[in-house]
Amino acid sequence: MSIDPYLSLEAAAAGIRKGDFTSVQLTEACLARIDALGDRLNCIAGADPETALAGAADADARLAAGKPVGPLHGVPLAHKDMYYREGRISACGAIIRKDYQPTTTATALHRLDAAGTLDIARLNMVEFALGPTGHNQHTGAVRNPWNTDHITGGSSSGSGSAVAAGLAFGALGSDTGGSIRTPSACCGLVGMKPTYGRVSRSGAMPLSFSLDHVGPLTRTVRDNALMLQAIAGGDPRDPTTSHLPVPDFLEGIEKDIRGLRIAVCEDFFGDSLDDEVAALTNTSLDVYRRLGATIVPVRFPEMQDLVALTTVLSSSESAGYHASGLASDWDRYGHQTRGRMLAGLFYPAVTYQQALKLRAPILRAFCKAMFANADVMHAPGLDTPVPTIAETDHSDGPGFLQALIRLTRNIRPFNYLGVPTMAVPAGFTANGLPASFQLAGRPFDEATVYRTARAYERATGCTDAHPQLD
């Protein structure tokens, strides 16, 4: 049976429920695609076809007995190799973790299990989730399905590549400095960094406890909302999670946005945008104008300080997590990883403390500036068209540093702020690679972000195109 590999997650779940195909057939199709394309894209860290097919057969049996598990019953997903599942290797992109088998399962995986999904593969990632390009000295660079000479973005590199290539119907990533949104931008996906505290991080490899976010990468906006719906909510295993009620993210997602107010920050990094990227970003604003939204220019000069503040927190906290490992296994860390961690050991405690202390007042000032007269914020994504793997090789010190800046400077501020922020596909640059913009909302208002993104998706068909790999 032939099944469209680019079927939406929502349509896949509906197809299983209606009997158009079985979970086994869907899982076989994904496993066949993993077998055909996984090595070419270098996106798979590990797969267990026998276990995956057994889970699919069980899902079909439960459905036949009238006992489906949840709203995403029987749909195959795959996840970044930093989400722990008891007894299964989780290497986190590192050779020093290549045999690590956790004794617990991540809350996000528990909740996706409860929604009925199947976890069919572990996906490659940047070593210890520390890098925006997709390079990994140990496992090699993950390749972009739109053009395998180009980067996927990182650190959720395998998640971006696998979902864009139709190897799974969605994936979890993590976002400490853009690691959901950067691969989504590079691979033409929808990627949501939810509000800090919306999703439990229990059982996910920690990098920076002040900045780490768990969230989904999907091919459509509605799919993204479905995945976040499944994983969101308070968790006693993660004391940073909020116990605010989780709304139905699909309720109202199709509503007209006429009269919606969209803030555009004049103090962002727009002057540094590549001309092609700037044109696509401006075109997306024109679409919103045609849909009846009002564009509201706002000022927030502190925006340009947030990259540095984010770096202080992420570098210091990742160095703290890995201080003993760096001391005992220095040579087993990749050059890029240990170099970035080493920088964190040299920030004075007062600098780190100040970065933490400023966070709440800056967030209050940001929300006042952006949302006093607007409902959602629009921002550019990457500064540049998606670069090649060669152009971002970490062995080229100055070149890598410049690539790092251009990939992340528009993206990292939202980790410091902790507000919900989504990457939305915005067409293609002349090199045939995807472009993207960002939408950000008030804390815990993912629903408005989804509604705004969905309106753009309906109007433009921005998620309809897929890479041609066969």
Show which residues are catalytic.
Answer: 80, 155, 179
Determine the residue type at 222. R
Task: Kindly state the tokens that stand for 312.
Answer: 């202080």
Determine the residue type at 102. P
Positive or negative: CA dihedral 341, 175, 128, 406 = negative
Q: Shortest CA distance to 72 belongs to which of 106, 26, 4, 121?
A: 26
Instruction: Report the run of H or E that residue 407 belongs to, with start and end.
Output: helix 397-408
| Beta pairing, strands 190-193 & 214-218 | antiparallel
DSSP designation for 332: G
Query: How many angstroms separate the CA atoms of 340 and 463, rounded?
Result: 34
Coil, helix or strand for 218?
strand
E strand residue ranges, 155-260: 171-174, 190-193, 214-218
CA 314 to chain centroid: 17
| Beta pairing, strands 421-428 & 434-440 | antiparallel
Query: How many angstroms separate the CA atoms of 268 and 414, rounded?
Result: 12
Strand partners, 218: 190
Contacts for 452 with CB less than 8 Å, ≥ 6 apart = 257, 260, 262, 288, 293, 375, 376, 439
Task: Kindly state the tokens that stand for 202.
Answer: 């229990």
Instruction: Report the run of H or E that residue 425 belongs to, with start and end.
Output: strand 421-428
Write the CA distances from 439 to 7, 328, 375, integer angstroms.
25, 42, 11
Query: How many angstroms separate the CA atoms of 384 and 406, rounded?
Result: 7
- Count CA within 13 A, CB hemisphere, residue 19: 4
Burial classification of residue 161, based on how many CB atoms lie within 10 Å of its CB (0-12 exposed, 13-18 middle, 19 or more buried): buried
Coil, helix or strand for 180?
coil
Cα-Cα-Cα-Cα dihedral of 434, 456, 158, 29, to 10°? -110
CA 261 to chain centroid: 26
